[in-house]
Amino acid sequence: MTDARQQLIEFIASDAVFHGDFTLTSGKKASYYVDLRRVSLDHRVAPLIGKVMLDLLADIPDVAAVGGMTMGADPIAAAILHQGAARGAAYDAFVVRKQPKDHGRGRQVEGPDLAGKRVIVVEDTSTTGGSPLAAIEALLKVGAEIAGVAVVVDRATGAREAIEAAGYPYRAAIGLADLGLA
C-alpha cells in the first residue's frame, strides 16, 4: 500500500465516516455514511486523492480527461488534474450537469471538447452506480469514448455490478474493509 493511500484511508476513516441511521440516494437505509466531500475539499486530502486516483488509473492508455456528475465528481476530477500536471500527465477535467443548461450553449457536459476522446468517469463514492451511468449517457451524446469508471470509495452495494453489466470497467481505490466497515 502506498503511503498516500494509507494517509487517505486514515483521513476518510477519521473525518468522513459517520455512524447512525442514514437514507442513501438509492432509498436504502444504512448504519454509516461516507461523506467524501468532508475530505475531498480539504487542502490536506485533495492531493492524496489525486495521487491515489492517478495510481489507480496509471495503466489505462490514452485517457484525455476525467470527470463525472457534479457535485461528487468535481473535486475528484480537479485533484486528478492537478496531481497529474505535477507528474507531467495531461489529464483534462470535465463536469456533467444533471440537465443541459437552458441558456447559453445549452451544454450538459462542461469542459474541453470530448468528441472522440477517451475519458474516465470518476465519483467520490458510489452506491448503485446511477451517477456514473448518468454521466456516461451524457458523455456518449457528445461523442466521448468511455474507458471506465473509477471511484474513491466503493460501498459494495451494487455499483460495480451495475457498471460492469453496462459494459464498462470499474475500479475503486478504497473498499469498506480498508475503512473498517466490512
Q: Please name each of the domains of the chain with its CATH number.
A: 3-179 (3.40.50.2020)
What is the predicted pLDDT for the residue at 87? 95
Q: How many whole angstroms separate alpha carbon 148 and alpha carbon 159?
A: 13
Tracing cell 486530502 back to the chain, one arrives at 45
What are 125-159's pLDDT values in tens digits? Answer: 988 999 999 999 999 999 999 999 999 999 998 99
What are 7-23's pLDDT values in tens digits? Answer: 999 999 999 999 999 98
Statement: the pTM of the whole predicted model exceeds 0.85: yes
DSSP conformation class of 178:
G
Name the nearest CA neighbour of 41 among 10, 64, 73: 73
Q: How many whole angstroms separate alpha carbon 8 and alpha carbon 6?
A: 5
**Interacting residues of 113 by C-beta distance below 8 A, sequence separation 6+:** 142
CA distances from 55 to 5, 127, 176 (A): 10, 22, 19
Would you place residue 105 in the very low, low, confident or very high pLDDT band (cuts 50, 70, 90)?
low
Residue 63 has pLDDT above 80, yes or no: yes
**Which residues on neighbouring strands pair with residue 63, listed in sequence order?**
118
Amino acid at 88: G
Tell me the mean pLDDT in the region 81-95: 96
Would you place residue 101 in the very low, low, confident or very high pLDDT band (cuts 50, 70, 90)?
low
Query: 106 versus 168: which is more confidently predicted?
Result: 168
